[in-house]
Amino acid sequence: DGGITQSPKYLFRKEGQNVTLSCEQNLNHDAMYWYRQDPGQGLRLIYYSQIVNDFQKGDIAEGYSVSREKKESFPLTVTSAQKNPTAFYLCASSPRTGSSYEQYFGPGTRLTVT
Amino acid sequence: KNQVEQSPQSLIILEGKNCTLQCNYTVSPFSNLRWYKQDTGRGPVSLTIMTFSENTKSNGRYTATLDADTKQSSLHITASQLSDSASYICVVTVLSGGYNKLIFGAGTRLAVHP
């Protein structure tokens, strides 16, 4: 059963704690992405990776970190430096980063920090 | 500034009725325009993708139009069903160096009532 999985679906953390969100894909896609979705706003790009061991900052990378040690996995760490971490986080993948390639999204993780 | 604006923000229709959602964009250089459907608490799923030369694309009861001259797109839903209740997101791809950046609209939230 191919696709993108994100875990957990809901995550609760105390302020000041780092937290890591998981994203795995078995679509054999080279490119992976992390987005943040807030109410009333469009998705915003946090980080993307075009290939293993490479990743680039998106529009709102401050307070986040990523790694891409394996093709299938692109975990996102929300650090204590992120001022407003409560949001819905979406991971996506595409065969390449070219404009003709569709991005396929995971089911998302809702993070709540109190 | 690259922007995608959608209207209306929300819409309520009765089951079986048709509706049209609007998308205006100021994005350059333009690569393509996509419409996604996002169920509450889930990841977006692609409905259509149109390039500069295409002015209409259908996917079942969903028909998207694109006017590249006026930079407007619409998504028409025919014979609505309860399962059409979701947010519909307009996304425009910008050609930007080696990475083709996606600009997301904030979405139109559609509720179909029996």
Question: Does the beta carbon of A53 lie under 8 angstroms from any beta carbon of chain B?
Answer: no
Q: Which residues of B touch A44 (CB under 8 A)?
A: 104
What was the pLDDT predicted at A2? 61
Residue in A44, A97, A106 nearest the CB of B100: A97
Percent of chain A at pLDDT > 90 equals 84
Q: Is the pLDDT of residue A36 over 70?
A: yes
The token duo for A91 is 């991971």
- Is the pLDDT reported for residue B114 higher than 90? yes
| Residue B89 to residue A41, Cβ atoms within 8 A | no
Rounded-to-integer distance, Cα B17 and Cα A73, Å? 43
B106 touches chain A (CB under 8 A): yes
* Interface contact B93-A98, CB threshold 8 A: no
| Residue B26: alpha-carbon gap to chain centroid | 15
Beta strands at B19-26 and B101-104: parallel, antiparallel or unpaired? unpaired
Q: Which residue has the higher pLDDT, A1 or A45?
A: A45
Q: How far is A43 from B102, CA to CA, in rounded Å?
A: 9
pLDDT in tens, B66-102: 999 999 999 999 999 999 999 999 999 987 666 778 9
CB pairs under 8 A between A and B: 52
- Statement: residue B41 has pLDDT above 60: yes
What is the pLDDT averaged over residues B11-35? 95
Q: Encode pLDDT of A73-102 as tens digits.
A: 999 999 988 989 999 999 999 998 877 788
Give the pair of three-digit tokens for residue B61.
Answer: 């009861």
Whether B85 and chain A come into contact, CB under 8 Å, resolves to no
Q: Which structure tokens are listed for A26?
A: 């078995």
Q: Which B residues, 41 through 70, put their C-beta within 8 Å of a C-beta on chain A?
A: 41-46, 49
Three-state secondary-structure class, residue B18: coil
Contact at 8 Å (CB) between A102 and A1? no
CA distance A112 to B14: 34
Inter-chain touch B43–A107, beta carbons under 8 Å: yes
Report yes or no: A5 at the B interface, CB cutoff 8 Å: no
pLDDT above 80: residue B8 = yes
Asked whether residue B113 carries a pLDDT value surpassing 70, the answer given is yes
Tell me the C-alpha distance between B114 and B112, whole Å.
Answer: 7
Query: What is the DSSP-derived secondary structure letter of residue A8?
Result: -
> Given an 8 Å threshold on Cβ–Cβ distance, is A98 in contact with B100?
yes
